[in-house]
Structure 1
């Protein structure tokens, strides 16, 4: 009996010690509390703590599959989790340390939060003079858990920890705390600032991140439009971030946290200071293109690209007809090397100075607040009509109808048609004026770089464009081996002269078409009346040159005045709202607008944006070859891609701002938005298979 009693006493003591030990092990956990579609517990990293110690507390959420809680900035809807601590005197709790969030797209809303297990860390600090031998931590927690519906909930948690001279780590809880810390965005220490300007949040980081980011989350609420497209433009010294501001934006906080996420989902935290001016991109802009990226980190590379673009401009259909004037001059002087060189220098001077003049005008207008870009002069119907008149007049001159003298065309036709330095110079001027609608390969990148730089650098880039365009004539004049390839003058030149009139007539037709897209079919009819009057005036001028009397002179002046007045009146008319010939094309594209693009992105659809203009020859060729074909229409349909077209034929501030987002100052610009991928800028020259190949590649990622 005595032995049995001893056995019972030992068993009871063992049981009690086991219970005590079990309590000690589990004292670092409050235990689970169940709510609808989620359960939660509060954990301490240490079971025993010491005075003066700082340790971590963890709020552990486990929602049902498909349900989520919210980040500190919940986005368009939702509420962040909040913790109200009740702590003994002197004990302090820090702010919640938020993990890297994810986006939840519920069109038309975008929210930020956490799906699956969520671990929210908070640091608790015990004062060095804490007197008690235990520490009781209480927390009242409020949260919102959502799927298609949202359910608010709250719970109260309590932890009691022993206080001793030595702390003891809760070993069983350590994996959760390690996981919580690994989910936090990395504190990079990178500095930066941001501004609100032009309806956009614009931030500039001073250093590059370890990995290129693909998205960012702004912690400040009601600061950005969460559903708007994000722009992340790498810089030589960091990164440029842009996103439209929130509809409910009222004021900018002095400091805001931004979390950037790379392709692997790793987050990086950056603290930004508010400033009054928006960030400007720098010389290292990285342009994302199909198949890779292009970094503009060196000025010399940009100058080479600019010169290459200027060289290719000579082959563009909007420039080549004008160069026929210069070709005649070179052919006529093929045996007079000194005169060839002089003409080449004057022609080059006309080209380069015209580029510099356009650059100066562009810089001046931008400084005055005008949003314009390359080719802006052909956004004026009046100038388009004048150029059509001029090319018609030059064509008639080449056809032998009239020889320009010292009359009203002295500032235009004679200056380009006559031989000598003056004619060469103004041929260069005219070539640049009509070249502006063409954005040759490499030229768009160079122009986009130029307009983001100082005026001195911008002028240097435009000068390189001019030198590239003038280079063929300089080479012909200064390299005898090339000059000897030119044929000797002869009777063939008169035939060639008349043949070269026809490209000028075709260029005039193209300008009339551009004019019609800007003003409407009625205005085109009146412009054609003016061109007929101009042709009649030039015919009478030719008769005057052959000795006709005063009546021909008077009739010529009346017809010339009629042509100019007609053009002035037509160009002053309001813009036509639409063109009937466009309706059949609208079956596979929609008109671009910032709102339409944002709406389609909110719906999670892939979107192709085409920024074009009727005066852009490259744009029109791409549409005929690669965008309006049955093959491309089928690709758009197969991959459910929405196709938006922005028309920059007449000045449009929204389109200009959009172009500048991608460091472009001219068209064409093709941008593809694919869900889950950063925007991709497609090549300026498209092939028939560009769209399908690009869609197929992205759909497999």
Structure 2
């Protein structure tokens, strides 16, 4: 009898087990309400949801859509709490919402009839915008040449883009489309249009104003006559429509004044340091004060638009060409859009991302995550000996498994993001139950490799030997297993490609994911189609049995790592629950290898105990993160502090540089960098010398704020390392950072 043992780590049965684990992870990560809409390939809809805003295209046409009949289109925005978009003049910062209409011939959309905005103070800045829900109505003309489609329907479309801010700001864009019967009355949103019309500033013929340049040349005196009686004696809110004329953040009573005299409103207003040439007229909005709760953020209930001439000339600010820092910031801001128009993604940029994905997938084979499968897959070639055809079929099947697995994970990621979930690469490992399922899988694989049991002991020989009769399917599923293990890692070149992919239409994005899978499988394709490269591999023999048992230890080491990851997510109780389940499962497997009645009695007892224990341990395996555990993972002594958008913004406002480590417990590359480059005394001394504050953004469990920040940097997974300095564009370092790279970046701030 030959002493050469087969290598079951690539058996068909194991891959079936893997499919069950992946199906479990899908069920655990997919919200019930999520609809998998893949980017631009999705069916156009009249509504869309981004992480911060829900948008809907609405129509008001009481007499239907016909020549000469009134028609108003509108964009209905509903903001997440504490987030806001902007008015036509955003104030000290921000950008107004823009609408690019796609209408049939005969329909002409006008300008947005902007409702009066709220005054939103963020630190020392004053912005004009909207929180909560707001309708931006657009009066639309129906010309005599308008005609509906042959079926009586009319198609209306708009590409809406806005900048949504809380403390951080994120550009967003949606494409909305609706088809309506032209002859039907459309009044569903009549109340919204009425409310928006009431908030639109009124233009009264009786109102006359005049601006006069103060003798100081730094202020404007403003006199308004003819305001309605309800405004007399009131302290009015002031909204300039010109962006760079006035100091928006000027404080009433301190920087500017207003008063009433004989029914005439007087104001003295400071000019902006960035003012341009003196215009002949200025348009402003004056509003009544708001009473009740949340006065500071409510828009005036009644407002008037005043167009007034300017008497005199002020000295325009002498502005040189835009500063390099501002130019870099604007370029970085433009690159932040998570949903850029497809026309902006040039063919050359997409091909560069594909090449980056191909190289990143190739380098993924060198990541520690893949080691448990790497050596076993290479030795799989030894089993085929001189059978070149079997080698080539196995290489192609392995490639197909890797590529399709990357595409499936990418499709799931894109679908969940389209449904409003804040997710990135490696999202499945943010779920403690998926971590537990993988720990069970690798424990069973480790016991099998160690020789504790053979699958043939539990199953009919026909089922256990499926992988021998279907080697192509076996190779395909081994590619799936490799991707499942490698998915937590982000290799060099992968970060930029993945960040670019999530903002593309589905077909282009999935092409980049496919390139990742092809790059990962490329070494095996070359080996299978170039038999000469296999001569260095040892011939099959008794050594394979020893090697098989040795490979049990990397598998069990993976279980140790997964238990540690679970501990970062759930605390010590989660680790204890997982280890108890794994111990009971191992005892059950051992019992089933015994003979006679002992096997059945002991196996039944352990199976019953496992069935009782699993529901008891379940709550500990999905417990919420423990605050102390999270803090311990995020803070190392006094050097590292937990990251938050507020902390980052505050430090930059104080003039301090910031270094952010976006990490996760399940990211092996992150842990390697943390214990090498980021712990290097020379690097730590350089951070201290440049007074850089170190922040750690822990993405072990899902955190929408970290996901948003990664998106803003053009990344979709960890590790990511970014150096921020006031007035400078962010410096994003490579995934495998080196000491020299960090030191060079610090010298440039």
TM bin, normalised by shorter chain, reads: 0.5 to 0.7
Counterpart for residue 512 of structure 1:
563
Counterpart for residue 399 of structure 2:
348
Contact 2:492 2:735 in 1 (8 A): yes
Tell me if 1:455 matches 2:554.
no
Counterpart for residue 684 of structure 1:
735
Counterpart for residue 572 of structure 1:
622
Note the 1:142-157 alignment, pairs <5 A: none
Gaps of 5+ in 2: 1-88, 94-123, 128-216, 224-240, 251-269, 282-309
- In 2, Cα distance between the equivalents of 1:386 and 1:651? 18
Please report how far the alpha carbon of residue 322 of structure 1 lies from its aligned counterpart in structure 2 after TM superposition: 2.3
- In 2, Cα distance between the equivalents of 1:568 and 1:96? 60
Counterpart for residue 554 of structure 1:
604
Where 1:623 maps in the other structure, the secondary structure is: helix
Q: For 2:534, which of 472, 483, 500 is the aligned residue?
A: 483
- In 1, Cα distance between the equivalents of 2:332 and 2:504? 16
Counterpart for residue 517 of structure 2:
466
- In 1, Cα distance between the equivalents of 2:279 and 2:693? 48
Note the 1:185-224 alignment, pairs <5 A: 214-215=325-326
Shift of the 471–439 alpha-carbon distance from structure 1 to 2, 3 Å rule, reads same
- In 2, Cα distance between the equivalents of 1:609 and 1:463? 30
Rg larger in 1 or in 2? Answer: 1
Q: Which has the higher contact order (CA 8 A, sep 6+)?
A: 2
Shift of the 528–464 alpha-carbon distance from structure 1 to 2, 3 Å rule, reads same
Task: Deviation per CA, 1:100-125: give whole Å up to 9, x if none.
Answer: 99999xxxxxxx9877xx98632569
Contact 2:340 2:504 in 1 (8 A): no
Shift of the 98–581 alpha-carbon distance from structure 1 to 2, 3 Å rule, reads closer
Tell me if 1:336 matches 2:473.
no
Counterpart for residue 573 of structure 2:
522
Q: For 2:686, which of 627, 635, 638 is the aligned residue?
A: 635
Tell me if 1:83 matches 2:220.
yes
Gaps of 5+ in 1: 1-70, 87-94, 105-111, 126-155, 160-175, 186-210, 217-228, 243-277, 286-294
- TM-score, normalization: structure 2? 0.57
Note the 1:1-16 alignment, pairs <5 A: none
Contact 1:359 1:462 in 2 (8 A): yes
Shift of the 653–335 alpha-carbon distance from structure 1 to 2, 3 Å rule, reads same
- In 1, Cα distance between the equivalents of 2:709 and 2:693? 18
- In 2, Cα distance between the equivalents of 1:365 and 1:119? 45
Please report how far the alpha carbon of residue 556 of structure 1 lies from its aligned counterpart in structure 2 after TM superposition: 5.6
Counterpart for residue 439 of structure 1:
490
Task: Deviation per CA, 1:263-313: give whole Å up to 9, x if none.
Answer: xxxxxxxxxxxxxxx96376868xxxxxxxxx9943222112111111111
Task: Deviation per CA, 1:590-615: give whole Å up to 9, x if none.
Answer: 11111111111111111111111001
Task: Deviation per CA, 1:334-388: give whole Å up to 9, x if none.
Answer: 3322222222222222212211211121122122111111100000111111111
Contact 1:103 1:113 in 2 (8 A): no
Contact 1:526 1:570 in 2 (8 A): yes
Q: For 1:649, which of 686, 695, 700 is the aligned residue?
A: 700
Q: How many residues align?
A: 477
Please report how far the alpha carbon of residue 425 of structure 1 lies from its aligned counterpart in structure 2 after TM superposition: 2.4
Tell me if 1:232 matches 2:368.
no
- In 1, Cα distance between the equivalents of 2:469 and 2:581? 25
Contact 2:403 2:518 in 1 (8 A): yes
Where 2:695 maps in the other structure, the secondary structure is: strand
Counterpart for residue 108 of structure 1:
none
Please report how far the alpha carbon of residue 182 of structure 1 lies from its aligned counterpart in structure 2 after TM superposition: 6.5
Where 1:675 maps in the other structure, the secondary structure is: coil
Shift of the 608–620 alpha-carbon distance from structure 1 to 2, 3 Å rule, reads same
Shift of the 667–431 alpha-carbon distance from structure 1 to 2, 3 Å rule, reads same
- TM-score, normalization: structure 1? 0.60
Tell me if 1:121 matches 2:277.
yes
- In 1, Cα distance between the equivalents of 2:684 and 2:644? 21
Shift of the 530–215 alpha-carbon distance from structure 1 to 2, 3 Å rule, reads same
Task: Deviation per CA, 1:539-569: give whole Å up to 9, x if none.
Answer: 223336x997533542464465467546634
Note the 1:71-110 alignment, pairs <5 A: 73=91, 76=124, 81-84=218-221
